[in-house]
Amino acid sequence: MADDKDGREKQARNEDDRQRRRDVEAELERGDEPEPEIDAADLDDVEADLESLEFPATGAEIVAAIGDRDIGPSDERYTVEQLVPETDAVVFDSPDRVRVRIQRPTVAAAMKRIVELSETLPDEKLGGSQYDAYEKTFFELQRLSPDDDDEAIGVVRDWVVDRIRDKEKLPTSRQIRRQAAKICREEGHQIRNDDWLGI
């Protein structure tokens, strides 16, 4: 590969793609997280549709192609459109990345709400490492308080939404982690210093 601007940009994109794949694999292998809310078998309706899409694909492209597809167990169904942000700012590099997202509908719906609202901000967009930190915070809330019907996720989501509306800016990754830790402690959950929320 040539050592010029295009070559360096291609190397950077390739490294980003490799990192995303590693992140997805790590997400799938983590044993300390709660089981996904939607079993892989309940994704059968969208499997073939996901595989037929060309990746990387934006959230908007996925919603346009398969947004009306239902997923989930028969007693609690979701559409892909309810779980994937309809924006070009969120890019999925593989079908696996979409699967990981939609298997946890509570987290996915919270992230969708925040991402789409952040699109209204004039100078900020939720992406990259900040997006990953928000999502990881919601996963930790789900792990630390699995018996509260994801109420903590809703409380933190609403806090972020209020901050975006009132201050017209996104809370930092550290601020959302602090707020999530505060909610967990108020519910009586112990947070160790080495936990994601233990800051």
For 8-37, write each residue's pLDDT tens digit: 777 767 776 666 556 655 554 444 445 557
Stronger pLDDT, 159 or 42, i.e. the higher one: 159
Alpha-carbon distance 151 to 147, whole Å? 9
What is the predicted pLDDT for the residue at 36?
Answer: 59
What is the predicted pLDDT for the residue at 31?
Answer: 42
Alpha-carbon distance 39 to 3, whole Å? 46
Average predicted confidence (pLDDT) for the chain: 82
pLDDT tens for residues 141-164? 888 876 666 788 999 999 999 999
**pTM for the predicted model, two decimal places:** 0.76
Q: Are 188 and 148 in contact (CB under 8 A)?
A: no
pLDDT at residue 127 greater than cutoff 90: no
What is the predicted pLDDT for the residue at 138?
Answer: 92
What is the predicted pLDDT for the residue at 28?
Answer: 47
Among 54-68, 90-104, 131-145, name the most confident range.
Answer: 54-68
Stronger pLDDT, 148 or 52, i.e. the higher one: 52
What is the predicted pLDDT for the residue at 19?
Answer: 63
Task: Write the CB contacts of 24 (distance below 8 Å, at least 6 apart in sequence).
Answer: 94, 96, 97, 100
Which of these, 166, 172, 167, 192, lies nearest to 181 by C-alpha position? 192
What is the predicted pLDDT for the residue at 21?
Answer: 58
Stronger pLDDT, 167 or 192, i.e. the higher one: 167
What is the predicted pLDDT for the residue at 32?
Answer: 47
Q: Are strands 91-92 and 78-79 parallel, antiparallel or unpaired?
A: unpaired
Apex CA 73: angle with CA 69 and CA 74, to 5°? Answer: 85
Q: Name the pLDDT band for 123 (thresholds 50, 70, 90).
A: confident
Stronger pLDDT, 67 or 39, i.e. the higher one: 67
Apex CA 140: angle with CA 137 and CA 145, to 5°? Answer: 130
Stronger pLDDT, 99 or 40, i.e. the higher one: 99
What is the predicted pLDDT for the residue at 146?
Answer: 67
Q: What is the pLDDT averaged over residues 50-69?
A: 91
